[in-house]
Amino acid sequence: MTEAAALPGQPRGGVLSGPATARAVNVLAPNPSAMTLDGTNTWIVAEPDSDLAVVIDPGPLDDAHLRHVIATAERAGRRIALTLLTHGHPDHAEGAGRFAELTGTKVRALDPALRLGDEGLAAGDVVKTGGLELRVVPTPGHTADSLCFHLPADQAVLTGDTILGRGTTVVAHPDGRLGDYLDSLRRLRSLTVDDGVHTVLPGHGPVLDDAQGAVEFYLAHRAHRLAQVETAVENGHVTAADVVARVYADVDRSLWPAAELSVRAQLEYLREHGLIQGV
């Protein structure tokens, strides 16, 4: 077994930008950071024989990147007909308005504040463009407005920040809630078990070729972190900052502010379930 194959979800090596499945091409945004990993993945999705494409998460407000996305579609003989958002964080959605201007497309999202046009997105919606079919899967938790898009023809799911290609995501308290996030992971697990999904096309990081393995890892990781947080509270670490210093001691300190958001979500979850009190 190779080292890559041993990692959760079997992340692909090599260049991140470019074709990922028969219908999905990634254009990596130039915004790498500790939080965005290599940058935001902007996905162009289309049927192989179609001249129409859908773009998911145009990314930051970076004109060169937005024009590069358009040029990538045009080189393949396609016109961008629709823009979708997995959620409203700026590294995914800030460029959507400008991208809509450049392409003449509508922007569909769960949050009405992010939409351009009359149509939003909701659980059970099926987006059809140029023969392409994308099924909307509600996955709140990272944020309240987080969505995934099931691409049945490629047995793939585009996960935004709900599942990353490397590492784990933040439950962005107070907007994000851990109970919702765990339910969303279980919903994604059912896609892998019942609907044959085996590929994760994430919002950051490499493509994952073992979707079920990735989901199971995320669920196990969350259970482990919850147990650690509960133990830390029992040992007298009563503030979120104290818990972070205890539980995330081996994590780069630059990530501690993000970790504190997740800890606040974990503390709220533990309180709601009667596992801790008064913290």
Per DSSP, 168 falls in state -
Q: E strands along the chain, which residues?
A: 18-19, 24-28, 41-45, 52-56, 79-84, 107-108, 126-129, 132-138, 147-151, 156-160, 199-202
Residue 275: per-residue pLDDT: 87
Q: Is the pLDDT of residue 2 over 50?
A: no
Residue 15: per-residue pLDDT: 79
Residue 149: per-residue pLDDT: 98
Dist CA 225 CA 243 (whole Å): 11
Total-model pTM: 0.95
Dist CA 115 CA 232 (whole Å): 42
Residue 3: per-residue pLDDT: 37
> Phi/psi at 81 (nearest 5 deg)?
-110, -15
Residue 113: per-residue pLDDT: 97
* Cβ neighbours, 10 Å, residue 64: 8
Describe the strand order of the beta sheet including 79-84 as a list of residue ranges: 18-19, 24-28, 41-45, 52-56, 79-84, 107-108
Average of per-residue pLDDT across 66-90: 98
Percent of the chain with pLDDT over 90: 92
pLDDT per residue as tens digits for the range 172-209: 999 999 999 999 999 999 999 999 999 999 999 999 99
Q: Is the pLDDT of residue 5 over 60?
A: no
Average of per-residue pLDDT across 236-243: 93
Residue 278: per-residue pLDDT: 61
pLDDT per residue as tens digits for the range 158-176: 999 999 999 999 999 999 9
Dist CA 93 CA 247 (whole Å): 32
Q: Is the pLDDT of residue 97 over 50?
A: yes
Q: Model confidence at 279, in pLDDT bands (50, 70, 90)? A: low
Q: Model confidence at 1, in pLDDT bands (50, 70, 90)? A: very low
Comparing 38-52, 104-118, 153-167, 265-279, which segment has the lowest mean pLDDT? Answer: 265-279
Q: Model confidence at 6, in pLDDT bands (50, 70, 90)? A: low
Dist CA 157 CA 165 (whole Å): 12
Percent of the chain with pLDDT over 70: 97
Give the chain's mean pLDDT.
95
